[in-house]
Structure 1
Amino acid sequence: MPAGKLYPPYPRSKFIKGITFDWSSRIRLAPGSDNWPLTWADDGHQYTVFGDGGGFGGTNAEGRVSMGVARIEGGRKDYKTANVWGGVEAENPATFTGKSWGLISIDGTFYMWRSGEASEDCFEFQQLYRSHDRGAAWEATEVRFDVDSFDRSRGFFVPTFLQFGQDYNGARDEYVYIYAPEVKSLVWELQVPGEISLLRVPKDKLGSRQHYEFFAGLDKAYAPVWTSDPERRRPVFYDANGTMRVNAVFNPGLKRYILTAQHTARNYGWGIYEAEEPWGPWRTIYYSDCFVPDEWPCKLVSYLSFSPKWWDNDGWEFVLVFSGREYNDAWNSIEGGFIL
């Protein structure tokens, strides 16, 4: 882990003063599998994507797939799990490899970003897939971004969806919003400086590449400007320390957009931010070079994902899912709360 103190890129939030984690509530499952972005589907269950393992009930070797989809049923303390596509005793076999940090349910249809064919290939292409049977089978759409999609930049990678309520109910408008870190080097590591772009597309046109737009800054009235030209895009988030994988969710109780982003190395520091709009301005809730408690022997954390279903106490309480390396290379859920 890099030495020296790193400072957050945005001022502290005046609305959310801090954050607490109840480490005694930790539930650890699926050792060997990682990532775990979450979406809340029309059937009331949450769904997630895992990588490089056997999923729930599996291990790093048993049932191992490059990428799989799983279902989480129930409440924050008593949930049950099942592998839908790939993994141990899966309901359906996985049919292609890759990695994903972006899954969403909209009007009963699932959409998933496939980022390359493996972690080290995540820069190669970002392609959108679709499922009409809650993850049992997947088909590729025409939406694909690769190196040929950009003339004057290296493009972006590992896109993630902004999550709203169940099956995208409660969304701010008819658009779907997508956050994507910018590629600065072709090494599977923290990208420095850290920049995150924002895309949007009408929710009924998700499978049509020509309908995608990119955030291009703010006008004089501080309203967002959108463009169909990817070379005119401007980041909605910047951290000189760097960034890599991100997660985004709308908290309906607090009426805030919550963004998580790495900033130290690919398995260490994380920041948690809030904003009143998907494009900011962002305020810092939490910024640390080491996410887990000091007494834990394993410090490696590679992804944080807020559950879009398990809010409580008008959004002040939450469940966070994380994964990492070594002992943290698993599904880990913990409860926590924001401080007013």
Structure 2
Amino acid sequence: MTAGTSRQPAPADGRPEYFAVARVEGAESVRTASDGDLWPSAWADDGQLYAACGDGLGFDLTAPWADIVVNRIEGTPATSLTGARLASGRDVAPVWTDPDRYNSKPTGMVAVDGNGDGHDELYLAVQDLRYGTDPSAFNEAPAAGIVRSEDYGHTWQAPRQPMFTDHVFTTVMFLDFGRSNRLSAQFGPPYVYAYGLDHNWRTSYDGCVPDPQDLYLARVAPQAVQDRAAWTFFSGLDRGQPVWSADIGDRAPVLTDTARRHAGLTVAGPSGGTTIAQGGVVYNEPLNRFLYSSWTEYTFELFEAPLPWGPWRHALTHDFGPYPWLGPDAAWPRHGGYATTIPSKFISVDGRDLWLQSNWFWRASTTEGRTYRFSLRRLRLDPATEPGDTVDGPRIEANLAAPGAGAHAVATAARSGRLDVLNDGRVDVGEDSWNGTPKATDHWGYHWARRKPMNRLRYVSGPYDFNGGWFTEPPRVEVRVAGRWRDTEATIDPPYQPGPEATGHRVYDFTFAEVHADGIRLTGPPGGAEHYSAISELSVFHVESP
């Protein structure tokens, strides 16, 4: 399994990072006998997970194809997952817009007892998404509605007209508040909360509608989920408290992110994707954190917040690089996906181990496989420790990044996703940061769940070609203390001479004043025509002062 290319950027508002470690696997690690994509899910009172997929067969590989399929999923990732197909196509939801140009796609699901009969109903948000062979296929979602099942997904009741129109709030993602929406009551009346996107479910690559850059929030009483008039929308804060309006025109985003990933891509493929897209929001009760999992064409994105309305902060980017990817059957698989969700049912008791679902089929190799199914991979989250917490004290001269020392390798990007190269003890194997974009800055480093004393970083450069592999100036050392990254003055032995001559498994020692930190990275502008740096080994030490 790949070590991953996760990185945690400093929050733009200057506040400390909440997570010391946020790391997702670079490829699928749990597969199922299913077919389809999207898979928004809900954990119901009967203990089962219910999920809807788009454009596939669901959990019956002999059944007919449908644009939407509802499934029941039993088991856990640690044991095994099996499923059953329950309903599909027009038995689940109508197409409210022109059926010749649009079909149904699931975007969110919640299980809650709204009618008071002692059993959950399932509510499924469905959008009309453009399809076909013209350039606008998958690039606009003009309408959406919510369908209801009172028999755990076997039959469905749908409104005759869509609840949301004119491309406004048409990608609806219910907040996953755990089994039967029970955790909602910790934040006031037990509303059903739903996040929404305007225009489209992801970047609209033909430009027929604006790209989503805002995440909106609404709430509704459990007994009125299908009553559009009962919905209210977050419209801002008044002295720190959320304000709600019945007028959707008053809505205000809880999160705005104008960042674009892989802008200026130098190889074939979509570029400049926005980080706000159809994913999922889940409440992690043990960590008391809300998590919004999103994605772009080539990255996973994670945002976190203390409350449903924020303040939201960017916590993680995992860059898989441009296509082609390596499928789950490859020797060293590396692939991302879309429609990222984190089912609350699979969150560990301490909240630190989670499972992320995503799908991928584009340019998938027939020999290396694809993940066009209910597909999971591990996500690890460790909150930052308090400044006064005990510092782990390793023996002098020990490599703090050695295997088994709890170090999680991070980088801006890694061409093959092999960050295990950084601490495998071999200088004859290297990795570089090429990702097809003209990056201004690279970094290679480590995160730990607890602070470590350190005062030396050893960098062994990697191979190069004429397109890159070096830094254009001597790289700097940055350390993370109390959730904030800062430069630390370091001497470099031998001096770093920018250019190809700095590569080829050369050893550089960066020595600095002792610091207790839970993160360290080597950073600088990458060189060459393709703007990437290279590395063979990266070690961290706490050495005796001379």
TM-score by length of 2: 0.53
Give how far 1:186 is off: 11
Further displaced range: 7-16 or 237-246: 7-16
Bigger shift: residues 154-163 or 323-332: 323-332
- 1:68 aligns with 69
Partners of 1:271 and 1:185 in 2: how far apart? Answer: 15
- 1:296 aligns with 326
Q: How does 1:1-340 map to 2 (within 5 A)?
A: 10=12, 14-22=17-25, 26-30=29-33, 32-58=35-61, 63-77=64-78, 78-86=80-88, 96=94, 98-107=104-113, 108-116=120-128, 120=138, 123-141=141-159, 144-147=163-166, 154-171=167-184, 172=187, 173-183=189-199, 188-189=204-205, 192=211, 194-219=213-238, 221-241=239-259, 242=274, 243-262=276-295, 264=296, 267-290=297-320, 296=326, 299=335, 301-325=337-361, 326=364, 327-340=370-383
- Find the aligned partners of 1:291 and 1:331 in 2 and give their Cα distance: 23
Q: How far apart, in 2, do the equivalents of 1:335 and 1:274 lie?
A: 17
Q: CA RMSD for the aligned pairs?
A: 3.2
CA shift at 1:29, angstroms?
Answer: 2.8
CA distance in 1, matches of 2:283, 2:157: 28
- Say if 1:58 and 1:122 are closer, same or farther in 2 by CA, change over 3 A: farther
Q: Give distance in 2, aligned partners of 1:36 and 1:188.
A: 21
Percent identical among aligned pairs is 26
- What amino acid is aligned across from residue 281 of structure 1 in structure 2? P
User: Deviation per CA, 1:292-329, whole angstroms, max 9, x where unpaired?
Assistant: 99973564511111011111141111111111223232
Q: 1:24 to 1:288 in 2, by over 3 A?
A: closer
Change (3 A) 1:22 1:212: same
Aligned residues: 320
Q: 1:279: Cα distance to partner?
A: 0.8
- Cα distance in 2 between the residues matched to 1:28 and 1:268: 21
Is 317-326 or 290-299 further displaced after alignment? 290-299
Cα–Cα, structure 1 residues 47 and 292, in superposed 2: closer, same or farther, change >3 Å?
Answer: farther
C-alpha separation in 2, matches of 1:176 and 1:10: 30
Structure 2 unaligned blocks of 5 or more: 1-6, 95-102, 114-119, 132-137, 260-273, 328-333, 365-369, 384-546
1:169 counterpart SS class = helix
CA distance, structure 2, for counterparts of residue 287 and residue 24 of structure 1: 15
Q: Letter of the aligned partner of 1:334 in structure 2?
A: R
Partner AA of 2:183 in structure 1: G
Deviation at 1:94, TM superposition (A): 5.5
Contact kept, 8 Å, 1:6 with 1:289, in 2: the verdict is: no
Tell me, in whole angstroms, the C-alpha distance in 2 between the residues paired with 1:38 and 1:163. 8
Question: Following the alignment from structure 1 to structure 2, what is the Cα–Cα distance between the partners of residues 169 and 117?
Answer: 31
User: CA 1:166–1:56 in structure 2 vs 1: closer, same or farther (change >3 Å)?
Assistant: same
Higher RCO structure (Cα 8 Å, ≥6 apart): 1
Instruction: Go from structure 1 to structure 2 and tell me whether the alpha carbon gap of 1:168 and 1:143 turns closer, same or farther (over 3 Å shift).
Output: farther
Q: Match for 1:175: what amino acid? A: Y
CA change 1:19–1:291 in 2 (3 A) is: farther
Q: Which moved more, 1:221-230 or 1:183-192?
A: 183-192
Deviation at 1:18, TM superposition (A): 2.7
What CA distance in whole angstroms lies between the structure 1 residues aligned with 2:248 and 2:12?
26
Asked if structure 2 preserves the Cα contact closer than 8 Å seen for 1:270 and 1:291, the reply is no
Task: Name the counterpart of 1:151.
Answer: none
Deviation at residue 277 of structure 1 after TM alignment = 0.6
**Alpha carbons of 1:306 and 1:10: their partners in 2 closer, same or farther (altered >3 Å)?**
farther
The structural deviation recorded for 1:98 is 0.7
My pick for the range that moved more, 300-309 or 124-133, is 300-309
Going from structure 1 to structure 2, the CA distance change for 1:8 and 1:309 (only over 3 Å counts) comes to same
TM-score, length basis structure 1:
0.83
When residues 339 and 6 of structure 1 are mapped into structure 2, their CA distance, relative to the original with a 3 A threshold, is closer
After TM superposition, give the deviation of residue 218 of structure 1 in Å: 1.1
Partner of 1:150: none
